[in-house]
Copies of this chain bind each other. A is one copy, B any other.
Amino acid sequence: MKNITIVGGGLVGSLAAFYLARRGYNIKVYERRPDLRKTDISAGKSINLVISHRGFTALEKVGLKEEMEKITVPAYGRMTHDTEGNQNFYPYSIHGKAIHSVSRGGLNAALMSKAEEFDNVEFFFDEKCESVDLENATCVFRNYKTGEATTVTSDLVIGADGAFSAVRAEMVKQPRFNYSQEYISAGYKEIHIPAAADGSPQLDLKALHIWPRKEFMLMGLANLDNGFTGTIFGPWEGENSFETVQTEEQVEAYFKKFYPDAIPLIPDYKEQYLNNPASALVIVRCDPWKYKNKVMLVGDAAHAIVPFYGEGMNCGFEDIFVFDNLLDEFGDQDMGNVLDKYSKQRQPNGNAIADLSLRNFIEMRDLVADPNFILRKKIEGKIYKDHPEQWMPLYSQVKFTNIQYADALATAHKQDEIMAEVLAMPDIENKWDDPKIAEFVLNKI
């Protein structure tokens, strides 16, 4: 194997270029958008995102962790806001661990530049993938600016071209390729929460902020400039939906009722709400994530998920990390075998993080403010602290370890059953830290 075509120069495509350039392959990356280091463009996606353990693990293997960590803002827990404006802080970890907010554009630009330092990496921009000949690993790109078509044949095509992947679109036409795209009933709309006039943050920087309102919520994630990206997640139709909150009056009433303490933070909240588009949230699953020894899918192209666990990019980075480990172990002589192993290892994990992310939506919007949920967190925290080998809360497994997502999901189902029994115990609010509770739980595992 000598030449690799990477379709898509987003976060995962850029990291893949870096990883594989280190191995000496000639890498050509074709990106549909202009070079984001030269143009002010929106990716059509959220402005910032969360990087956590899996993402850092992948960066660390190739020596990029330290540098990238510098452009992140850590959040140590959730800060809930009720309709009275009261705030409550719930740490993510009993060990003080954090997840990290990072600018999508900033991280992408940094990874591109890092990859481009290799002589054997070339990036091409404004290149739309028009077709892929899977059998021959040949892609045709058309340049948006010149209108010219370029045909590129290589030994391996990596589809890193996102949720609406053109590479995957060819694979969907193959017999026995399973595929689904499922739009959830909620959409989202971004509302920027600026820093104060003096440049200081208006909200606690060390937390991810949530205004949980059951069927919908507002969320705030910090940026490097002390501002926050606010996101309203809500239903498309029905009460308090994007359909019914449409006019200036409706927006005002909606904010006053549900997010009153956010109003003073966002002077132009009405304009932003009315002008910013509402976007759909899709879950994409497919199988297999490869075609023979010629084509593989990574990142959102293989597993677009809803953003509620902040794991989209982390899962994509882990794809590259796992693929690289397989190359370490098996070499590249039999790429059919390596891609087969990659697909079989990753696909169930992609499905699991898709399920987990949907589950976390329920948790964030419905449960964070639920007394039983808070009690459960306390009980789990105590057991985890006293018996770390036997019980680790799901959130920690997903965000602070490299435990396979599929294993974390299986454990979660088991933990749910046990905790349901515990929470049904009489007077549990008062005896939750009784050693007998821990004993009961540990016997059930």
Contacts and interface: CB of A to CB of B under 8 A. Distances in A.
Contact of A180 (B175, B176, B179, B280): B179
Contacts of A180: 178-182
Contact of A183 (B164, B178, B182, B183): B178
B172 A178 contact: no
A173 B280 CA distance: 13
A280 B175 contact: yes
Contacts of A179: 179-181
A280 B280 CA distance: 33
A440 interface: no
A180 B176 CA distance: 12
Nearest to A176: B183
A6 to B, nearest CB: 23
B177 A178 contact: no
A13 to B, nearest CB: 21
A125 to B, nearest CB: 23
Interface in A153-184: 164, 172-173, 175-183
B175 A183 contact: yes
Interface string A179-208: 111110000000000000000000000000
Contacts of A183: 175-178
Interface in A327-343: none
Contacts of A280: 175-176
Which of A164, A177, A180 has the most chain B CB within a 10 Å cutoff? A180
A172 B163 CA distance: 13
Contacts of A164: 173
A172 B176 contact: no
A172 B181 contact: yes
Nearest to A172: B181
A179 B173 CA distance: 14
Interface string A130-143: 00000000000000
A350 B7 CA distance: 36
A297 to B, nearest CB: 16
A149 B239 CA distance: 48
Interface of A: 164, 172-173, 175-183, 236, 280
Given A178-B180, A179-B180, 12 more contacts: A172-B181, A175-B280, A176-B183, A176-B280, A177-B181, A177-B183, A178-B181, A178-B182, A179-B179, A180-B180, A180-B181, A180-B182
Kindly list the 3 A-B residue pairs having the minimum CB-CB distance in the complex, ordered from nearest. Answer: A180-B180, A176-B183, A175-B280
